[in-house]
Amino acid sequence: MRYEIHHRSTYTYDESVSIGHHLARLAPRELLHQHCEWHGVDVEPEPMSLAGHRDYFGNQCLFFALHGAHKTLTVTAHSFVVVHPPVLAAPEETPAWETLREAVRGDFLTPDVAAGEYAFASAMVKPGKQFAEYALESFKPGVTVLKAALDLNERIFRDFKFDPAATDVATPVHEAFEKRRGVCQDFAHILIACIRSLGIPARYVSGYLETLPPPGKPKMVGADASHAWVSVWCGPVHQWQDLDPTNKCRPQERHITVAYGRDFADVSPLRGVVYGSGEQSLKVAVDVTPR
């Protein structure tokens, strides 16, 4: 599938802001099954400086600085991306989860050990006993890691309710877990917390999901949104395999990957600091259109 993506973020400030330094992660990644044909970002008002780099996780970043009074900031990313069906590992062909857990703790640098950095706690995901106990209902002795992760992915979809009013971007993962509700960010963090609590590497994936309108209805402009899902390490042969607990699926052509990280804090699409007073509001509109 070939997609055209528009992602517009508009900040409105109660009082004029004189200085703003911002970091955007909005460029789709280059993957074996995904190719970004073109990507551009427009910033209003015009920034005084722009600089691009790749972060520790290989995500493409854009830093920009604004000097001068302004009451709104609009950042519009425009991309053309081609997504092919990814290679999906057969669950029964992945190693037993206990075997993989020991492999990522090895004394010598191997692909398993390198992936092991995603098995530790991170800023927004702290492994714990409650997550391990919940995960162990799926991770039974001798079960392969992907088979167990798929079962856990389905259980989270079944046991948790999608509720945008229940959480916000800063809600701790344990709170969303206790409420049994939240949004895609919360579902991804919960799945990661459960898997890491058993010593298995899991990483956070941010991107887009092309949504389909109801039969016979036109697609609404701005109806798509940023999305989040999870990659689970399945050994050096099958490597990272994606799971989407919000939709109980394995991401394929309708999922467009933008960034990887330990949790949302590593991959926030747009973040920054401003000098000024008063409150601010944010409006985001995303369109993912097949081309």
pLDDT at 210: 87
**What is the arithmetic mean of pLDDT over 158-164?**
95
* pLDDT over 70 at 220, yes or no: no
For 66-91, what is each residue's pLDDT tens digit? Answer: 999 999 999 999 999 999 999 999 99
pLDDT at 224: 73
pLDDT at 225: 74
Query: Using 50, 70 and 90 to split pLDDT, how confident is the model at 218?
Result: low
pLDDT at 27: 97
Alpha-carbon distance of 172 to 58, in angstroms, equals: 26
* Cβ atoms of 191 and 176 closer than 8 Å: no
Alpha-carbon distance of 201 to 101, in angstroms, equals: 8
Provide the residue count of the chain: 291
pLDDT at 222: 43
* Cβ atoms of 168 and 152 closer than 8 Å: no
**What is the arithmetic mean of pLDDT over 162-167?**
92
For 106-145, what is each residue's pLDDT tens digit? Answer: 999 999 999 999 999 999 999 999 999 999 999 999 999 9
Q: DSSP assignment of 206-244, as one string?
A: EEEE---PPTT-PPPTT-BEEEEEEEEE-HHHH-EEEEB
Q: Which domains does the chain have, with CATH numbers?
A: 2-83+268-290 (2.60.40.2250), 91-267 (3.10.620.30)
AA letter at 67: H
* pLDDT over 60 at 20, yes or no: yes
**What is the arithmetic mean of pLDDT over 27-43?**
97
Which among 239, 251, 259, 232 has a CA at the least distance from the CA of 7?
259
Q: What percent of the chain has pLDDT above 90?
A: 90
